[in-house]
């Protein structure tokens, strides 16, 4: 190390109290990677060391880590809020040597607990995305902030004097302070308006509640309190509103560990196979028309059975498209719901106000408001107003809008009528984009004022009323970017920085007036969350006046949909609306249902595929009206024959080097109808083009073929004790002596009943362990590198598709078949039961991988690129980056084990159970993974190993793996 | 006129050495005298190579160079240039390795076991067969090295004293056993072959007209003087070496089979593998010897020395070992079902009917069905037919290894990881390159060393004659 050089930089920095001018340095050209990292490390180290840079912005690490104890090489955790989507989950940011390197779940957060989703884990990569803009832009010219601010202010002043419409178009903002900043900015103008636009909108729920309860709000849904969940196509475990929070609640209500014998029941009516549907106890495959009629029939039956007054349109409803079997299913569902009045929950994923009105009617009839649906603590997680967006497009085209400022939205890509949007956009005299990249919309803006990444900025969030969290910057901005709030403040003539605005807002509006502000602020910053306890209030009254009309319209809609081929648009849990398309971690994360990476596709049912003579990967042309796109077909069991399911979020043209031209853009299929965006396009046609591609899929065989890999029981079987039957583990018959374990023997239990397949573990592992991305071609060759994979098996025929998920990673076997075959002892057993891979000893014979029964070993076929010096900053310094030709695999996060062992030793104590958490375990929203010391008889892992559902994979091989699984239980009996 | 003279000589030879055995036929045809043998074989070395040799050599050399380029590409870029994936970690590489090791076995079988059993007909073919063994082991030895992710560290599988905290190899790993087995095999084969060459090298030294060659043979013949004492010691050592080499015929391929047999993969984990592999090795080796001998007798005009009778004998060995291999195939299928192990059953069904069934049925056709034609004497004595069938047997034996390796790996315990394997151009080129290397070296051997063991042939010249 070049100590002298470091010291100089540090002194310099200390002297002029400014961060080293990182942004003007072209890292590739001007400096070596090492110097760059040193600079990054020291600029942030300085920030942490009593704030050499910006003393007034104190950021506070999680729990108790006094500032003076900043130690290079030791990770610090800062509580923050994930900015990956509008769900605003609580997160901890792990900062190593001044670099944020990982997001983890914050278990002090009241909504999400310790959970995070896959997208959140990928956000670190986005911070170090070298495709981000590095300075403000005037058109396509680089500019400085002073220049840009001066020009924008001048033009805005012109509008102030002459009048004219100023519009701020943003995605959902859960931050109360930011909303105040926007409001303040807009008050300067005679006609200023803030419009919220979500590419994938749930505006219908808000509109429906305005109609039925007089409140335009999305209620909070309590999946933990619901004993029966009936979902009509809502993928609440995958993408709907706040999936992490819902998964957490859902799995809590279905937890069968620790002697519990009760679990909630989940019935899903849906036309395509969603993540939520794949977890349902009863999944009813329906066409879109049948889904509507089932909902109406359910409303009728529930009203009748609860004695609720129902409008005539519902009371007299007679389904025309429901076959007797479906009618019977709906009847059974109604019976079950009525039995669990006040402890059930009906949700619908349709962005159709009428459907949501009927859902509200059912929930109201069941007395679920106040129990499982709460309008007094509404969610702010989806605020998109589809009507306002439509109005904006009209105004722009009419030339009425004088200035448009966009932030976090990309309508030139994801608006259904993007041509209309762009033509209107072109007519706006002042177009300012606050997006971080030169995306489809920003490319046509007059100014791009790139916002800092959320890991570089201050912010707050109120995802649900009364539940607040804070974001703190964990690194100085890498580039010349600025928080978008700060841009708006400048243009409002407010020279304060956003940090001060934030504190003042909290002082004025959030904390109680008499509270000790600094103490409360520090505490909130430290824990990441602040909750205002509200006294219970009655739910707003239900008004049934609109239900009848809604039912009538729904009936018509069902008639138009019936028997027609429908394009159903959806978000993939990894790609979501496409904003993060340039993130290779997300692109390479296999979809939990299809297991396909790096593509979107037209999912068709096996019957439809047979009819059209499609094979997996046959390219089809899907048309609806003027919209035609070509996509490869994917044959999806469990999907209804009337539906072609296509994921949005693909087909980006200005995403960046990883995300451009991956898949095709399906947003043009969206329509605007009845005040909301419709994600079903009926009357579609599909034809085969004759071309064929091969998917980059990580799993090619989808059934168990009778192999006892997954153990599954019905709840009744479980209660009557069948889960404990059958072979558990054989007695050792080895000629070798057993391993003698001293202090520790690490082990893991994975609860298959909790795992929903959300795939967050895969990306958590990828971020923690520097797992390389290999690209589409290599995944096609089946060489993906993920250390933990999520096996997904389909069971049953096409009518009743059952899905099971099984996370599989290295099982750290006692009788490890890999260890005995390695000629050079590159994989050996540790004294703590770990199967260790010694990278620098490995010569790469691949014998170990061949002989691994679980096939969890991954080989470095090539030198995977590490030439993007900015992206390399996301690497975890605790984990070696592997070279070509060596084998790698899950290590049980040995670096985390060692970290805690050192900590415990320094503190002179034993390691506490649960103190060590593997990366996959840490942020599992369903808490499906338990890790611990099996020598410790009292450990949680040991305790679960004695659960009656505990079983090991492939027991006949006598490998004695350290991972066991808890059998899946389905609540299939009618309650 | 010359024909007439030759005919007269033959008549004279027939008169002095009439065929006296009612059962046996002479091993060497053409009424050779001792002098004829020396002249015939030694003249091959001094004569310019014919067009046939040059064509064969050019083709082999080009293939070898292509193989070297493909290997260099692999080593410089990574194993990713091959078609392997997360599930199938070995395919062409280890198939080629086992194939070449197997080829080598016939040489040792002929030179050591047939020697101990006093099979006199071996004398015409043992020299070339042994050379084939050595070259085949060289070809085989390349693959375990280049299949490594980091081949420059291949020496780490050797147990040598080192300063890495005295880091030893894993003696439980069959790959380490492989290393010992193959290096021992190579050493013994080389010494055995070289020792057998010494008297003939001395003859060549004494006869050659080229100074360069004389110097070369002089060094290699170690001062051989042909004295009685030298001969006596020579034969003792030769016998001892034959006895030492004999167990290697059984052990080497048994150990190679342990790579598979000691693993837990269904289709590999099988106790039948050692005898099955040894029989298969001898089977493929004899087929390769037949292919080569037919080429050699044609190319070098040695029809009098390598007679149809030799080929017929080798056909019989091929028939026997082929039948053992067929029995092993049937046993595998039987045990697959008899075991009651669903994984074993699946492997059998997947081999026979799965996506690689074409490879399985190629194997069965070439290894189990085709050799049965050798029951017919007309087939055993038809040189063109033997040539075609011997090549088919080697195609089948290559596929046998491919089937064992790939069909077992590609679908093992967890269906989620099942995968397909297809070779890349790089892999195919490396395989062809190994054939190029094999034939290049063999053709050079034909030009440099006495192809037929003169001293031993002279000993059987009067076989079945007075």
ipTM of this complex = 0.91
What does the pLDDT read at residue B444? 93
Backbone angles phi and psi of A110, in degrees to 5: -70, -25
B residues 304-333 closer than 8 Å to A (CB): none
Contact B421, A703 (CB under 8 A): no
Instruction: Identify the band that residue A789 occupies on the pLDDT scale cut at 50, 70 and 90.
Output: very high
Structure tokens at A124: 């670190």
* Mean local confidence (pLDDT), A25-35: 51
Chain B residue with minimum CA distance to A774: B80
Q: B407, B84, B404, B413: which is closest to A855 by C-alpha?
A: B413
CA A604 to CA B361: how far, in whole Å? 36
Question: Which residue in the set B157, B175, B416 is minimally distant from A699, CB to CB?
Answer: B416
Bridge partners of residue A805, in order along the sequence: A792
**A772-806 per-residue burial string, b: 16 or more CB within 10 A, e: under 16:** bbbbbebbbbbbbbbbbbbbbbbeeeeeebbbbbb
Residue for token digits 């841009």?
A487
Q: Which residues contact A840 (CB under 8 A, 6 or more apart)?
A: none
* Mean local confidence (pLDDT), A713-742: 75
Q: DSSP of B129-189, one letter per residue?
A: HHHHHHHHHHHHHHHHHHTSSSGGGGGGGS----SSSSPPP-TT-HHHHHHHHHHHHHHHH
Identify the residue with better confidence: B10 or A527. Answer: A527
What does the pLDDT read at residue A43? 52
What does the pLDDT read at residue B115? 83
Contact A393, A424 (CB under 8 A): yes
Nearest CA distance, B378 vs chain A (angstrom): 46
Instruction: Identify the band that residue A39 occupies on the pLDDT scale cut at 50, 70 and 90.
Output: low
- Flag if B172 and A845 touch (Cβ within 8 Å): no
* Burial (0-12, 13-18, 19+ Cβ within 10 Å), B223: exposed
Q: Is the pLDDT of residue A591 over 70?
A: yes
Above pLDDT 70, what percent of chain B? 97
* Inter-helix orientation angle B34-46/B174-207, to 10°: 110
Q: B298, B302, B250, B278: which is closest to B127 by C-alpha?
A: B302
- Count of C-beta atoms within a 10 Å radius of residue A483: 25
B361 contact A CB<8A: no
Q: Is the pLDDT of residue A68 over 60?
A: no
Give, in order, the Cα–Cα distances in Å from A778 to each of A25, A301, A698, B289: 34, 53, 10, 42
Q: Is the pLDDT of residue A385 over 70?
A: yes
List the alpha helices (DSSP H) in A166-310: 176-186, 203-213, 243-253, 275-279, 288-306
CA B433 to CA A3: how far, in whole Å? 53
* Mean local confidence (pLDDT), B358-376: 92
Contacts of B157 in chain A (CB under 8 A): 823-824, 843
* Mean local confidence (pLDDT), B313-339: 91
Chain B residue with minimum CA distance to A780: B85
Instruction: Identify the band that residue A21 occupies on the pLDDT scale cut at 50, 70 and 90.
Output: very low
Q: Which residues contact A832 (CB under 8 A, 6 or more apart)?
A: A741, A743, A744, A745, A746, A897
* Mean local confidence (pLDDT), A423-440: 91
* Mean local confidence (pLDDT), A338-354: 91
B residues 224-243 closer than 8 Å to A (CB): none
* Burial (0-12, 13-18, 19+ Cβ within 10 Å), B207: middle
Instruction: Identify the band that residue A53 occupies on the pLDDT scale cut at 50, 70 and 90.
Output: very low
What is the rounded average pLDDT for all residues in chain B? 88
B97 contact A CB<8A: no
Instruction: Identify the band that residue A40 occupies on the pLDDT scale cut at 50, 70 and 90.
Output: low
Express each pLDDT in A846-869 by its tens digit: 999 999 999 999 999 999 877 788
Rg of chain A over all Cα atoms, to the nearest angstrom: 28
- Full 3-state SS string of A413-463: HHCCCHHHHHHHHHHCCEEEECCCCCCCCHHHCCEECCCCCHHHCCEEEEE
Identify the residue with better confidence: A745 or A31. Answer: A745
- Flag if A846 and B170 touch (Cβ within 8 Å): no
Contacts of B174 in chain A (CB under 8 A): 821
Nearest CA distance, B262 vs chain A (angstrom): 9
Backbone angles phi and psi of B288, in degrees to 5: -70, -40
CA A5 to CA A9: how far, in whole Å? 6
Backbone angles phi and psi of A748, in degrees to 5: -145, 150
What does the pLDDT read at residue A727? 57
Instruction: Identify the band that residue A22 occupies on the pLDDT scale cut at 50, 70 and 90.
Output: very low
B3 contact A CB<8A: no
Pairing mode, if any, of strands A459-464 and A467-471? Answer: antiparallel
What does the pLDDT read at residue B460? 79
Show the beta-strand stretches assigned E in A163-244: 165-170, 191-196, 218-221, 228-232
Q: Is the pLDDT of residue A161 over 80?
A: yes
Instruction: Identify the band that residue A57 occupies on the pLDDT scale cut at 50, 70 and 90.
Output: low
> Where on the phi/psi map is residue A782: left (φ > 0), alpha (ψ -120 to 50), or beta?
left
* Mean local confidence (pLDDT), B294-315: 87
Contacts of A752 in chain B (CB under 8 A): none
Q: Is the pLDDT of residue A47 over 70?
A: no
CA B201 to CA B199: how far, in whole Å? 5
Helix, coil or strand: residue B413: coil
Q: Which residues contact B180 (CB under 8 A, 6 or more apart)?
A: B255
* Mean local confidence (pLDDT), B120-146: 90
- Flag if A820 and B172 touch (Cβ within 8 Å): yes
Contacts of B415 in chain A (CB under 8 A): 701-705, 707, 709, 793
Q: pTM here?
A: 0.88
Contacts of A791 in chain B (CB under 8 A): 414, 416
Express each pLDDT in A558-578 by its tens digit: 888 888 899 999 999 999 889
What does the pLDDT read at residue A433? 93
* Burial (0-12, 13-18, 19+ Cβ within 10 Å), B244: middle
- Count of C-beta atoms within a 10 Å radius of residue A261: 9
What does the pLDDT read at residue A49? 45
Q: B228, B182, B195: which is closest to B112 by C-alpha?
A: B195
- Flag if A789 and B263 touch (Cβ within 8 Å): no
Mutation pick from A697, A784, A824 vs chain B, by most beta carbons of B within 10 Å, is: A824
Q: Is the pLDDT of residue B244 over 60?
A: yes
* Mean local confidence (pLDDT), B101-129: 85
Contact A570, A648 (CB under 8 A): yes
CB hemisphere CA count around A329 (13 angstroms)? 21
Question: Which residue in the set B144, B168, B265 is minimally distant from A851, CB to CB?
Answer: B265
Express each pLDDT in B37-54 by its tens digit: 888 888 888 888 888 889
Q: Is the pLDDT of residue A795 over 50?
A: yes
CA A950 to CA A728: how far, in whole Å? 8
CA A112 to CA A82: how far, in whole Å? 11
What does the pLDDT read at residue A625? 84
Express each pLDDT in A671-707 by its tens digit: 998 889 999 888 889 999 989 999 999 999 988 888 8
Nearest CA distance, A825 vs chain B (angstrom): 5
Bridge partners of residue A95, in order along the sequence: A76, A100
Express each pLDDT in A506-520 by its tens digit: 888 888 877 788 888
B77 contact A CB<8A: yes
């Amino acid at each position: 190390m070049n100590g002298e050089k470091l010291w100089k930089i540090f002194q310099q920095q200390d002297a002029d109290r400014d961060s080293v001018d990182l942004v003007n340095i072209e890292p590739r050209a001007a400096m070596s990677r090492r110097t760059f990292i040193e600079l990054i490390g020291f600029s942030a180290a300085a920030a942490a060391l009593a704030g050499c840079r910006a003393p007034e912005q104190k950021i506070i690490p999680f729990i108790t880590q006094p500032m003076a104890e900043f130690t290079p090489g030791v990770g610090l955790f800062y509580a923050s809020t994930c900015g990956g989507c509008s769900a605003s989950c609580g997160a901890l940011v792990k900062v190593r040597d001044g670099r944020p390197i990982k997001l983890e779940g914050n278990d002090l957060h009241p909504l999400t607990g310790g959970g995070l989703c896959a997208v959140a884990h990928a956000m670190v990569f986005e911070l170090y995305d070298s495709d981000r803009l590095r300075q403000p832009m005037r058109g396509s010219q680089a500019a400085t902030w002073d220049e840009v601010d001066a020009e924008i202010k001048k033009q805005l002043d012109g509008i102030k004097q002459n009048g004219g419409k100023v519009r701020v178009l943003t995605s959902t903002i859960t931050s109360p302070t930011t909303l105040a900043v926007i409001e303040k900015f807009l008050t300067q103008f005679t006609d200023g308006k803030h419009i919220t636009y979500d590419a994938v909108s749930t505006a219908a729920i808000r509109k429906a509640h305005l109609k039925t309860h007089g409140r335009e709000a999305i209620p909070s849904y309590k999946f933990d309190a619901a004993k029966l969940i009936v979902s009509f196509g809502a993928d609440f475990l995958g993408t709907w509103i706040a999936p992490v929070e819902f998964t957490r609640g859902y799995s809590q209500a279905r937890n069968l560990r620790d002697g519990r014998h009760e679990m909630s029941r989940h019935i899903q009516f849906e036309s395509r196979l969603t993540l939520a549907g794949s977890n349902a106890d009863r999944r009813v495959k329906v066409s879109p028309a049948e889904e509507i009629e089932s909902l109406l029939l359910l409303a009728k039956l529930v009203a009748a059975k609860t004695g609720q007054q129902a409008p005539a349109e519902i009371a007299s409803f007679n389904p025309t498209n429901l076959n007797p079997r479906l009618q019977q299913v709906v009847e059974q569902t109604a019976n079950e719901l009525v039995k669990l009045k006040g402890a059930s929950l009906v949700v619908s994923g349709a962005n159709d106000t009428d459907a949501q009105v009927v859902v509200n009617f059912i929930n109201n009839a069941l007395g679920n408001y106040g129990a499982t649906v709460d309008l007094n603590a509404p969610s702010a997680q989806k605020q998109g107003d589809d009507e306002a967006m439509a109005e904006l497009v009209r105004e722009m085209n009419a030339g009425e809008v004088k200035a448009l400022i966009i932030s976090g939205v990309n309508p030139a890509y994801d608006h259904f009528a993007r041509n209309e949007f762009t033509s209107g956009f072109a007519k706006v005299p002042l177009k300012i984009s606050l997006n971080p990249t030169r995306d489809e919309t920003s490319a046509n803006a007059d100014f791009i004022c790139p916002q800092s990444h959320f890991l570089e900025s201050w912010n707050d969030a109120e995802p649900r009323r009364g539940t607040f969290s804070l974001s703190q910057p964990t690194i100085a901005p890498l580039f010349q970017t600025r928080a978008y709030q700060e841009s708006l403040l400048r243009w409002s003539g407010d020279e304060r920085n956003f940090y001060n605005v934030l504190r003042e807002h909290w002082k004025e509006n959030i904390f109680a007036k008499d509270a000790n502000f600094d103490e409360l602020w520090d505490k909130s910053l430290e824990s990441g969350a602040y909750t205002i306890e509200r006294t219970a209030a009655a739910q707003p009254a239900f008004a049934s006046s609109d239900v009848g009309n809604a039912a009538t319209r729904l009936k018509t809609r069902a008639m138009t949909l019936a028997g027609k081929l429908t394009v159903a648009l959806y978000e993939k849990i990894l790609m979501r609306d496409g904003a993060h398309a340039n993130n290779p971690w997300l692109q390479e994360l296999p979809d939990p249902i299809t297991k396909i990476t790096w593509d979107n596709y037209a999912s068709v049912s096996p019957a439809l595929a047979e009819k059209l003579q499609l094979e997996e990967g046959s390219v089809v042309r899907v048309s609806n009206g003027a919209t035609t796109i070509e996509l490869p077909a994917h044959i999806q069991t469990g999907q209804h024959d009337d539906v072609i399911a296509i994921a949005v979020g693909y087909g980006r043209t200005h995403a960046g080097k990883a995300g451009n031209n991956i898949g095709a853009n399906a947003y043009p299929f969206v329509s605007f109808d009845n005040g909301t965006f419709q994600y079903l396009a009926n009357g579609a046609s599909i034809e085969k083009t004759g071309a064929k591609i091969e998917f980059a899929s990580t799993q090619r065989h989808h059934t168990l073929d009778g192999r006892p890999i997954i153990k599954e029981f019905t709840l009744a079987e479980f209660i009557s004790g069948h889960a404990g039957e059958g072979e558990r583990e054989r007695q050792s018959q080895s000629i070798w002596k057993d391993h003698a374990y001293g202090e520790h023997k690490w082990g893991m239990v994975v609860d298959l009943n909790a795992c929903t397949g959300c795939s967050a573990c895969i990306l958590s592992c990828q971020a923690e362990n520097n797992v390389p991305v290999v690209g589409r071609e290599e995944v096609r060759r089946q060489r993906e590198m993920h250390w933990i994979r999520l096996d997904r098996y389909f069971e049953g025929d096409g009518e009743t598709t059952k899905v099971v998920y099984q996370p599989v990673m290295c099982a750290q076997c006692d009788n490890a078949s890999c260890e005995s075959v390695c000629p050079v002892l590159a994989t050996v057993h540790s004294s703590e039961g770990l199967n260790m891979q010694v990278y620098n000893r490995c010569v790469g014979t691949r014998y170990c991988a061949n002989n691994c029964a679980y096939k969890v070993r991954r080989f470095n076929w090539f030198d995977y690129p590490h030439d993007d010096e900015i992206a390399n900053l996301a690497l975890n310094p605790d984990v070696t980056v592997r070279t070509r030709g060596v084998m790698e695999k899950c290590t049980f996060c040995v670096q985390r084990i060692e970290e805690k062992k050192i900590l415990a030793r320094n503190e002179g104590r034993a390691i506490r159970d649960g103190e060590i958490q593997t990366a996959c375990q840490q942020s599992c929203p369903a808490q499906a993974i338990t890790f611990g010391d099996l020598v410790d008889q009292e450990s949680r892992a040991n305790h679960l190993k004695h659960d009656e559902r505990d079983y090991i994979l492939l027991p006949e091989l006598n490998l004695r793996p350290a991972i066991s699984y808890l059998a899946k239980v389905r609540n299939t009996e009618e309650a | 006129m010359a024909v007439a003279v030759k005919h007269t000589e033959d008549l004279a030879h027939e008169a002095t050495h009439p065929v006296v055995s009612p059962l046996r036929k002479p091993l060497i045809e053409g009424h050779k005298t001792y002098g004829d043998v020396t002249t015939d074989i030694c003249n091959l070395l001094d004569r310019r190579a014919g067009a046939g040799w040059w064509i064969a050599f050019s083709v082999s050399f080009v293939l070898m160079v292509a193989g070297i380029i493909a290997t260099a590409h692999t080593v410089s870029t990574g194993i990713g240039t091959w078609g392997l994936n997360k599930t199938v970690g070995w395919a062409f590489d280890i198939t080629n390795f086992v194939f070449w090791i197997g080829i080598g076995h016939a040489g040792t079988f002929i030179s050591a076991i047939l020697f101990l059993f006093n099979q006199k007909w071996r004398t015409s073919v043992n020299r070339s067969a042994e050379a084939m063994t050595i070259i085949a082991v060289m070809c085989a030895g390349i693959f375990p090295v280049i299949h490594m992710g980091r081949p420059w560290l291949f020496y780490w599988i050797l147990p040598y004293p080192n300063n890495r905290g005295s880091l030893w190899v894993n003696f439980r790993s069959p790959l380490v056993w492989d290393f010992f087995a193959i290096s021992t095999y190579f050493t013994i084969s080389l010494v055995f072959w070289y020792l057998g060459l010494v008297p003939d090298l001395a003859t060549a030294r004494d006869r050659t007209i080229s100074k360069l060659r004389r110097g070369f043979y002089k060094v290699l013949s170690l001062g051989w003087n042909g004295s009685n004492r030298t001969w006596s010691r020579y034969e003792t050592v030769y016998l001892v070496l034959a006895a030492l080499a004999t167990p290697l015929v059984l052990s080497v391929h048994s150990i190679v089979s342990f790579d598979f047999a000691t693993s837990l993969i269904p289709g590999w984990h099988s106790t039948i593998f050692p005898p099955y592999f040894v029989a298969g090795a001898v089977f493929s080796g004899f087929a390769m010897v037949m292919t080569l001998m037919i080429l050699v007798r044609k190319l070098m005009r040695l029809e009098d020395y390598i007679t149809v009778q030799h080929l017929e004998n080798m056909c019989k060995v091929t028939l026997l070992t082929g039948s053992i291999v067929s029995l092993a195939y049937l046993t595998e299928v039987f045990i697959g079902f008899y075991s009651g192990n669903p994984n074993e059953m699946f492997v059998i069904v997947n081999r026979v009917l799965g996506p690689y069934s074409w490879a399985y049925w190629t194997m069965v056709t070439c290894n189990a069905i085709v050799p049965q034609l050798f029951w017919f004497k007309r087939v055993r004595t038809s040189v063109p037919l033997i040539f075609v069938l011997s090549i088919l047997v080697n195609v089948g034996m290559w596929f046998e290894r491919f089937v064992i390796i790939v069909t077992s790996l590609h679908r093992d315990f967890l269906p989620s990881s099942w995968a397909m394997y297809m070779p890349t151009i790089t892999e195919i080129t490396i395989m062809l390159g190994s054939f190029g290397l094999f034939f290049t070296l063999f053709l050079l051997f034909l030009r440099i060393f006495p192809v037929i063991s003169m001293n031993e042939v002279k000993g059987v010249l009067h076989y079945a004659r007075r």
